[in-house]
Structure 1
Amino acid sequence: MAFRMTVFSDNYASLRSRGCWAQHGFGAFLEFRFEDLSLNLIFDCGPHMDVVKHNLDLLKLDFSGVNAVFLSHGHYDHTGGLLEVVKRIGRRVPVVVHPKTFSNRFAKRDLRVVGVPFKPNDVESAGGIVVQCRNPIDFGGKVFLSGEIERVNDFEKVEGYVIEEDGRLVDDNIIDDRALIANLNGEFIVLTGCAHSGLINTLHYAMKEFNARKFKAIIGGFHLESASNELISRTISELKKIDFQYIVPMHCTGIKMTAALINSFGEKVKVLGVGESLELK
């Protein structure tokens, strides 16, 4: 086993979910095993402590060896279970965030709060060491947390959110959105939380920064739940130009986009929900 992902928070449950609760959000336990490197990471923490506690009690995951917790961005549905996760690790552990992760954030239409539901000092009190950085993080040249992802195309746009900056509410382009990228013997895994930067922008970032040319798997929330037919069509068209073995749509990808992926890529599409695991070699 080179890579195993166990999902403890997602929007969807199945017969294989073992009684886990589904709720809008994402959280995963990642295990990497290489000849010269062994890593256990948490990538996002789900929407709510009660849901995460219930699911982790059922899954009986061992977090004692977790090296670090990564938050893909500062929205509640990826961070609400963080304190429960940190407490289960049972020791001081780095919680890696972007400097904007704990900003006050809202839905633009009605000012609904969408930001992280607690402050950095709460994380520290639970046992986390809050590490704020913008730059990529490199684990042994094999596993990486991205830096800020460049927005290069003209069709993947961030809309619908505002953020508090310098005493003003301004449009939020969610610059803290990040991905996890891993190199499995020249075949890359890309894991997104919500892909607010755009799925295609994120893949192009991996190509540019890490020379990724072949993808073992593209996994995560792709933020296309409310996407127009035009955006879905354009995304599918761009994915057809990319060499990948599997694509695993989760969380905020949406049923319409998932159906489009299955229609276009057939058995390359793997559907995964809360309580399930994905293993790749």
Structure 2
Amino acid sequence: MLDLSILTDNNTLIDRYYLGEPGLSFWIDCGDKKFLFDTGYSDVFIRNAAWMGIDLTLMDGLVYSHGHNDHTWGTHSLVSLFDRRELSRRPQLTAHPLVFENKTHGGLTIGTMMGAEALGRYFDLALSAEPRELAPGLWWLGEIPEAVAPRRAVGKIIDSDGERDDYCLDDSALAYAGPEGLVIVTGCSHSGICNIIEWAGEVTGERRIADVVGGFHMLSSSPEELAAVIAYMKSAGVTRLHPCHCTDFAAKAALSREFCVAECGVGLRISYR
């Protein structure tokens, strides 16, 4: 079984009175393991978790979908919370080895705030480009191949070799192979949402898709781009979607004409059995 709670999203559910911000953070219970998937931009996920009765210090692991600020900068507030509480376990941090690259966009720094050395004081670092099973049926997908569509650059990487386009090779996702099929959990899908769905099937061996939850990075998509995604999802057997964060209204509207698109926002809890 897998239970997912949305702690941070651009949207909040009506009549819940939680906080939103343009970022993403999910709390995932899988069997007897608990994971935090991304930390958003600020301490919003911590405040929402407390109101939702979720104790973040009980986590077995933190997973970074990729190294952008709206998915990782909240970690500074998380380790501040750890400093004030006696942890019952030392969590593991799962991420791609390139997650700490110096990323910029439009002259702004958009990479991680805390590097490997600082985070190594709080977490056991498990940096891997290869898929790994984090809990029974729950897979970290590692580096996503371009099986369906090419990656697109988002900003720049600056290092000792100079400046180059950032194709977000560190962008990954989670996939849970449950009784009803795959539940795919994405952060921003810079790897391409179709590539992620395809790779999740390869890694898990499960081709039935129960749900896809997260940011699809479908912003100002052309009609041709929307049509290509819809055509692939149909061929893959997708029926249900929970698009959020970096999926704009036009994309949600187009997807809703073909699939069951469910409401997303802070406070939402979804259970898969």
Per the normalisation by structure 2, the TM-score is 0.91
Instruction: Among all aligned residue pairs of Structure 1 and Structure 2, give the percentage whose two residues are the same amino acid.
Output: 25
- Supply the distance in 2 between the matched residues of 1:218 and 1:138 (Cα, whole angstroms): 18
Quick one: which of 97, 119, 131 aligns to 2:95?
Answer: 97
Quick one: which of 65, 72, 92 aligns to 1:72?
Answer: 65
Quick one: which of 252, 275, 278 aligns to 2:246?
Answer: 252
Aligned to 1:219: 213
How many residues get paired?
268
Query: AA paired with 1:120?
Result: A
- Supply the distance in 2 between the matched residues of 1:6 and 1:241 (Cα, whole angstroms): 29
The secondary structure found in structure 1 opposite 2:246 is helix
Matched, 1:121 2:117: yes
Pairwise CA RMSD: 1.8
- Supply the distance in 2 between the matched residues of 1:128 and 1:180 (Cα, whole angstroms): 19
Aligned to 1:24: 22
Matched, 1:178 2:177: no
Aligned to 2:128: 133
Aligned to 1:46: 40
Contact 1:7 1:275 in 2 (8 A): yes
Q: Post-superposition shift, 1:270? A: 1.1
Q: Residue by residue, what CA displacement relative to the aligned partner does 1:225-246 show, whole Å, maximum 9, x if unpaired?
A: 2322221121111111122342
Aligned to 2:49: 56
Aligned to 1:5: 4
Cα gap change, 1:253 to 1:32, in 2 (>3 Å):
same
Contact 1:52 1:84 in 2 (8 A): no
Contact 2:42 2:77 in 1 (8 A): no
Q: Post-superposition shift, 1:257? A: 0.7
Q: Residue by residue, what CA displacement relative to the aligned partner does 1:17-47 show, whole Å, maximum 9, x if unpaired?
A: x2221111100000113xxxx2211111111
The secondary structure found in structure 2 opposite 1:190 is strand
Q: Post-superposition shift, 1:98? A: 1.5
Q: Residue by residue, what CA displacement relative to the aligned partner does 1:114-165 show, whole Å, maximum 9, x if unpaired?
A: 111222233244x2233322211113551110110001234x5313311124
Cα gap change, 1:22 to 1:186, in 2 (>3 Å):
closer
Cα gap change, 1:86 to 1:95, in 2 (>3 Å):
farther
Once the two structures are superposed, the pairs formed by residues 131-280 of structure 1 within 5 Å of their partners are 131-139=126-134, 141-154=136-149, 156-185=150-179, 187-265=181-259, 268-280=260-272
Unaligned runs of 5+ in 1: none
- Supply the distance in 2 between the matched residues of 1:161 and 1:207 (Cα, whole angstroms): 29
Query: AA paired with 2:138?
Result: V
Query: AA paired with 1:276?
Result: L
After TM superposition, what 4+ stretches of structure 1 lie above 4 angstroms from structure 2? 86-90
Aligned to 1:85: 78
- Supply the distance in 1 between the matched residues of 2:30 and 2:173 (Cα, whole angstroms): 16
The secondary structure found in structure 2 opposite 1:252 is coil
Unaligned runs of 5+ in 2: none
- Supply the distance in 1 between the matched residues of 2:230 and 2:269 (Cα, whole angstroms): 25
